[in-house]
Amino acid sequence: MKTHTARRIVCMLLTALMVSQAAGAAALADGEAAPVSGKELTEQMKIGWNLGNTFDAPGETAWGNPVTTAELFQTVKELGFDTVRIPVSWSGHTSGAPEHIIDTAWMDRVETVVDQALEAGLFVIVNAHHDNEVYYPAPENAARAQEYLKAVWSQIAARFADRDHRLIFQTMNEPRIVGSAYEWNIDPKNDDCMAALEVVNGLNQTALDAIRAGGGYNGGRIVIVSPYAGSPSAARLSAFRMPEDSAEGRLWLSIHAYTPYDLCLNTKSPVNDFTKDGQSQIAQMLESLDYMYVQKGVPVIIDEMGCLDKDNGQARYEWARFYVSEAAKYAIPCVWWDNGYLGTDEENFALIDRRGLTVYEKSQSVYQGLMDGLKSAE
């Protein structure tokens, strides 16, 4: 009787252990693969907000924004945003070549803020932002850039390996040859442009491989890659290639599009109306991205967009409503660039008052346009 009881207890314990292990493995597998469709995920992310000029600055408060708080992300969520992009510049916080060891305090602080955003129920995008001075895509810098990206992404991936699919990585931000005639406007007939584009292809592959090797959820984590300068025109060139991935359907394309330029980004332009031509530019851009990428199973995210404040609240409302509603037709999330600046002499994209935890009065119209654009697409 005692022997039978002991055997029964052992069997029960073994069964419980097997069930527990199976449940744990299933939870990890679900986390890595959920949701199965990239399109389903973009539909959940809908619309987002950039924590700009913060961790992409030399220090969190160096460019005038306050210390980031959990309450800020709660506000972002309550305002109707589903996604936050946290641009991070790493190169100023590493030991330098060849190891590029990230400063522990900087990594710890980024981790704290990422967790605050995740706890608020947001999808989170983390990138390598103002590091272009290290990974600029010139052929003579390719080896150095690959060394840097492999080193930093290996460390970032390892630190965040246990965060689930709601954390997304973006390899680079607007990789380009600064100061060149083709810094922002790539010329397919220019050999230097095409050489730079080829380097970008290689750098995206290097960063992706480092992330995939990071263990945990990184094997199936969504990774966003950037074309040269984040440009839609560069993404449309056949010379630009998405990297080869060990995970299926987990690569996205990043686009930055302040369209139309004279209204949205040109601080020297007097244009302050949103016209039919502006609508056409947005519609044609989105149609081409849908045809070349979305329809072929590669989701697209416009993770920087915005429209300058030129004391033209109605035009900004109309622009935001049109832009977001058009993008939603193709399940392309739009992420507003918020640098925290409200003045009139520079790029004034401030949307959320990070101290008062509300939308700035001057930005109410464009904020309402963003939200109405989502509603009109439902």
In angstroms, the CA 346 to CA 322 distance is 25
Burial class for 10, CB neighbours closer than 10 Å (0-12, 13-18, 19+): exposed
- Tens digit of each residue's pLDDT (9 = 90 or more) over 215-255: 999 999 999 999 999 999 999 999 999 999 999 999 999 99
Domain assignment of residue 144, given as a range: 36-377
In angstroms, the CA 18 to CA 55 distance is 44
Is residue 23 in a domain? no
Is residue 326 in a domain? yes
Is residue 81 in a domain? yes
Mean pLDDT across 290-302:
97
* pLDDT given at position 377: 80
pLDDT over 90 for what percent of the chain? 86
* pLDDT given at position 13: 37
Is residue 22 in a domain? no
Catalytic residue among 133, 140, 174, 378: 174
174 is catalytic: yes
Work out how many domains the chain is built from and give that number. 1
Is residue 27 in a domain? no
Task: Read off the pLDDT band of 40 (50, 70, 90).
Answer: confident
Mean pLDDT across 172-197:
93
Catalytic residue among 60, 304, 318, 347: 304
Q: Is the dihedral of CA 281, 285, 291, 292 positive or negative?
A: positive
Task: Read off the pLDDT band of 16 (50, 70, 90).
Answer: very low
* pLDDT given at position 175: 97
- The domain that contains 158 carries what CATH number? 3.20.20.80
Q: Beta strands of 81-170 (E only): which ranges?
A: 83-86, 123-127, 167-170
Tokens 């400063």, located at residue: 103
Cβ contact 197:239 at 8 Å: yes
Is residue 348 in a domain? yes
Is residue 9 in a domain? no
| Residue 29: pLDDT over 60 | no
* pLDDT given at position 1: 39
Is residue 6 in a domain? no
- Tens digit of each residue's pLDDT (9 = 90 or more) over 195-215: 999 999 999 999 999 999 999
DSSP 263: H
